[in-house]
Chain A
Amino acid sequence: MARLIRTEKEVEGRYTEQWVVVEEDPLAHWPAGPREVVGRPAARVDGPQRARGEARYTADVVLPGMLHAAVLRSPHARARVRRLDLAPVLAARGVRAAIGPGDADVLAEEAGYEGAPVAAVAADTHAQARAALALAEVEWDVLEPLLDPDEAVAKGQLLDEPGRYERGDVERGLAEADVVVEAEYRTSTVLHNALETHQAVCAWEGDELTVYISTQWIWGVRRDIAERLRLPPDNVRVVCEFMGGGFGAKGDPGDHTYLAAKLARRTGRPVRCALTRREENLATGNRNSTIQRLRAGARADGTLTALEGEFVMAVGWDGFVSSTAGPMKMLYACENVRTTELGAKLNTGPNDAFRAPGFVEGTFGLECLLDELAAKLELDPLELRRRNGADADPVDGRPYSAKNLAECYRRAEAHWARREEVRARSEGRWRRGVGLASQIWYGGGGPPSYAWVRVGSDGSATVVTAMQDIGTGTRTAMAQIAAEELGLPLERVTVALGDSARGPYAAISAGSSTTPSMGPAVRAAAADAARQILEIAAQRFQLEERVLSLRDGRIVSADGGSWALEEVTGLLGDGQILATGSRGPNPTGMRVLTFGVQVAEVAVDVETGEIRVERIAAIHDVGRVVNPLGASSQVEGGIIQGIGHTLSEQRLLDPESGRALTVTLDAYKLPTIADVPEIATELLDIPDEHLTSLGSKGLGEPPIIPTAAAIANAIRDATGADVRTLPITREEMLRALREARERAYAL
C-alpha cells in the first residue's frame, strides 16, 4: 500500500515541507566502495555524441517555418519609455510580428535595469530581426539609477525584509574573547556565461505548446508556462535533450521563452528566441556582489566565543536574497552568533542562483576571517578549525545524517604539510605560501522524482525519466545505477531523458541535487525490473526466486546455474518488462549536508601583484560516489570557476550611468586552460547510511565554495598581506602588500 507522509525538501538552502508517497519496501544499501559499475570510472555515455558534434542542443533545433526573435532592451539602468513606435519595425523586410508593452507581461515601459525587455520582433532571419529592431522609434525619460548597495540599505530600498539571526549573546561572547578580529570583505558581481546562451524555440499546435529550451528544470518550465499562459499542464511539452551549461541561471522559463511563445502565437509559426552573448551578460542573472562586515572573538586556545556579520548583497532590480550568512551560522560550533542579511534593490540586472549562491561569498569572508584570527592567536589554521567543529547542526541542534569533515581534515594534512617546502621555494620577488578553507553546503536532494525502466527481449534496459543532463554527467550516473541494480554491463543500459512528454516527473538540476534526487528513483525502478525478471526466471527454471540473482548480464542461481538474461526476456517476444521507481523521503529530523576542505598553493610576485595558483587539493565528503571520473571533472570545474571568481572575473559598471562595461568575453575574463593549476581531488566516498537507498549527495556546488578563501589565505601565508576584496586584481594585491608594509613599519 502506498504510504503518505510529510517530509522536508531543500533546494539551495531553502526548505519547504511537502507530502510524499513512500513505497513499502525501501532497498538495502549497497556495501560501501566500488561495486560492479557504480563507484567505478565511466566515460560519459553521451560523450561521443557531444564530441562528434551530433548532440542536438536547443541552439541546433530548427523547425519548418521557424522565425527568429530579437528583443529591444533598455539601454539605460533606469528609464521610462516616453514614446515607442513599432510601425517602422513592422514594415521592415522579413518581419512577421512586433510586440511591445501591453502585448506580453514581460515587456514593460518602466526599465529598472539595463537590458530590461521593452519590445520584441519576429522575422525570417535573426539578422532581419535585429536590423528591424534598430528601426524602432523609442524615446526615453532617463532617470537617476541607484547603484550603491550601502546607499540602498540606508534608504531602505531592500528586496526583502532584513534577514536577522541570533543565538546566544554576542556581546558576552566578545567580552569573553582573548582576541577579537574585525574586517570588511567584498566580493564582486560575476556572470554565469554558460556557453549556450539562454534560448528557447516555441511551437503551437492548436492549444498545445512545445517548448525546446536550454533549461535546468524541464518540469519547472512546464509548470510555470502552464500557470502563466493558463494552459492545462499536459498541453505544455518541454524538451531539452542536450544542454550547454547553466550553473544556476536556467531554472525558470525566462522572459525569452514567454516572448517566443507570444510571437509564435501571433504568427502561427515556430519562433526561436536566442539571446546574444551581450544580452546574456545583461539580463539573465548573476552572482551578486557582497559587502561583509565581520567580527570574530576567540579564547587563547582557539575556541570561538562570538561570530558576528552584516552582509549587504547587491541583489539588483529583482532576484532573491541568498543565504550569505549561512556558513557563519552553520560551519562552527560557536555559541554566540548574530547575522544580518540585507538584500539591496538596485538598478542593476536581477541576480540568479549561481553555483552555491551565498555560500561561495559567505565562505570567502568567514574563512578569511578565521585565518586572520589564527594569525593573531598564533594558532595553526587547520587546528583552529578542528577545535571548533560542530557535532550537531549549530542552528537547530539536529544531528547530521553523516558528517566526515574530521576525516577530510585528516586527509588534508598531507597537503597542508607541504607548506614548509612550498614557502622555501620562494625566490626573489616570487613569494610562495599555502592556505586552506573549509566547505559546508546542502546537497541531499529530495522527493518527488520518478523513473521507469523498460527491459526488452534482447535483455537491454532503458531508463526513462524526464530529467535533464545539464553537462554534469547525470545521464551516465543514472545508467550506472540501473546497470548495477540489473547486473548489466553499462553498455546495455540507455537513458532516455529530456522530454516531459516521454517520461515521468523529475527534479531540478540545481542545489547539487540531481544524483541524490534522481539516483534513488532510478535504482528503485531498476530493482522493480530485476524483481520481475527473477520472478519470471524462477517460473521458467522451476527454482525458488530467492536463490536467483542478476550478474554480468546473466541470471545466476545459488547452486551454480547460469543463464543469459535473454533466455528469459527472449521469451517475451515483443513483450516488455515495465518497472517504476520513486524517490523516498529524506531522513526525519536530520541535517543532510556536504563538507570538505581545500588547500591552495600560490605564488605572488610582490613587485607586480601577479598571482599564480600553483596547486589545489580538494577533499570533499559527498557520500557515495557513483562515477569517480565524472566526479573529478566536476571538482576540477568548480575549482576553476572559483579561480575565475577569485582572480579575474567581475562585472564592471559605469558608475554614472550604471551600464555594464563587461558584456563580451574579451572584457569579462573567464579562466582559460593556461590559468589552471595542478588539482588533486580526493572524494571520501563514504555512503550516507541515513540518506536514501543510494547514500549519495550532490557534488555540483561543493568544490567552488572554499576556493576563494583558500587562495586568499595562501596569499596571506606567502606575503603577510590581507586581501579582502574579490577579484584579487593586481591593484588589490599591491594595495594589500602596501598596507602590510605600513603595518610592519608601524610596529
Chain B
Amino acid sequence: MPDLSVNGARHQFDGPALKTLAETLRDDLGLTGTKIACGEGHCGACTVLLDGAPALSCITLVHAVGNREVTTIEGLRDHPLVEAFVRADALQCGFCTPGQIVSASALVAETPEPARDEIRHAMAGNLCRCGTYPKIEEAISAWRG
C-alpha cells in the first residue's frame, strides 16, 4: 500500500487510481482546511505545498505525489501569515483563505520581503470572489508583524 507524508506524519492510503490529492486529504485524512472550489485547477482554493512548492491538489493525482512532503493549511496553523491575514482583515467568507495562505507561505519562504509586483505575480492564481485582494496584499507585505 502506498503511503503519503502530510504535515510531517505518514499515512497509508488505498483508493482508486484516479483519486485526487485534494479528495484524499479531505475525505480520507479529514484535513478539510484544503477547499475544493472549482475542482479543475482554475481557482487555487485547493493549493497545498509539495516539497515547499505550491501545487493544485484538486488536479494532482494522489498516486503521483510519491515521496514529496505534502503541507496543507493544517501544517501552517502556526505560521505568522495566519495572524497577519486575520489582523489585516484579509478574509471575508474565508473559503479561499487556506489556499491563499498556503500560496503566500511559499512566496515568503523564497522572498521574505516581497515587493507589490512579486505578491501580485505569486498570488494571481488564487481567486477570491469576495474581493479581499487589497487586504491580502497588505497582510503579505506585513506578514512578520
Contact = CB atoms under 8 A, between A and B. Distances in A.
Contacts of A639: 131
A48 B19 CA distance: 30
Nearest to B30: A62
B120 A673 contact: yes
Nearest to A49: B94
A674 B127 CA distance: 11
B86 A51 contact: yes
Nearest to A125: B27
A630 B89 contact: yes
A277 B137 CA distance: 26
A665 B39 CA distance: 10
Q: How large is the interface on B (under 10, 10 to 19, 20 to 34, 35 or more residues)?
A: 35 or more
Interface string A646-667: 0000000000000000001110
B134 interface: yes
Contact of A473 (B45, B73, B92): B92
A53 B134 contact: no
Contacts, number: 163
Most buried by B among A53, A639, A664, A676: A53
Q: How large is the interface on A (under 10, 10 to 19, 20 to 34, 35 or more residues)?
A: 35 or more
A699 to B, nearest CB: 12
A195 B131 contact: no
A51 B82 CA distance: 6
Contacts of B97: 50-51, 53
A44 B94 CA distance: 11
Contact of B132 (A52, A277, A633): A633
A637 B43 contact: no
A636 B77 contact: no
Contacts of B136: 673
Contacts of B134: 636, 676, 679
A389 interface: no
B91 interface: yes
Interface in A46-68: 46-48, 50-57, 59-60
A472 interface: yes
Most buried by A among B19, B34, B38, B128: B38
A253 interface: no
A629 interface: yes
B127 A44 contact: no
A471 B93 contact: yes
Interface in B91-145: 91-98, 101, 119-121, 123-137
Contacts of A727: none
Given A277-B40, A470-B93, A670 B85 contact: no
A276 interface: yes
A136 B45 CA distance: 32
Nearest to B91: A50
| Secondary structure class of chain A's binding surface, majority of residues | loop
A244 B93 contact: yes
Nearest to A471: B93
B5 interface: no
A190 to B, nearest CB: 12
B33 interface: yes
Given A196-B37, A277-B38, A47 B120 contact: no
Nearest to B72: A53
Nearest to A50: B94
A665 B43 contact: yes
Nearest to A53: B33
Given A641-B131, A674-B120, A277 B39 contact: yes
A473 B130 CA distance: 12
A51 B101 contact: yes
B42 A665 contact: yes
Nearest to B127: A670
Contact of B16 (A127, A470, A634): A127
Interface string A475-509: 00000000000000000000000000000000000
A242 interface: yes
B32 interface: yes
Nearest to A470: B93
Contacts of B38: 277, 664-665
Contacts of B18: 127
A193 B137 CA distance: 22
B129 A245 contact: yes
A243 B94 CA distance: 8
A52 B94 CA distance: 10
A640 B133 contact: yes
Contact of B95 (A57, A634, A638, A679): A57
B93 A243 contact: yes
A195 B93 contact: yes
A429 B58 CA distance: 42
Contacts of A637: 92, 130-132
Contact of B135 (A195, A196, A470, A636): A636
A14 B95 CA distance: 31
B130 to A, nearest CB: 5
A392 interface: no
Nearest to A672: B124
A194 B93 contact: yes
Nearest to A473: B92
17 contacts: A47-B91, A47-B94, A51-B85, A53-B31, A53-B34, A53-B97, A56-B32, A127-B19, A629-B89, A633-B135, A636-B131, A637-B92, A638-B131, A664-B40, A670-B129, A673-B137, A676-B131
Given A57-B95, A665-B42, A673-B120, 11 more contacts: A50-B93, A51-B86, A53-B33, A53-B34, A127-B18, A195-B35, A244-B95, A633-B92, A634-B92, A665-B43, A673-B137
Interface of B: 16, 18-19, 26, 31-40, 42-43, 45, 72-74, 77, 82, 85-87, 89, 91-98, 101, 119-121, 123-137
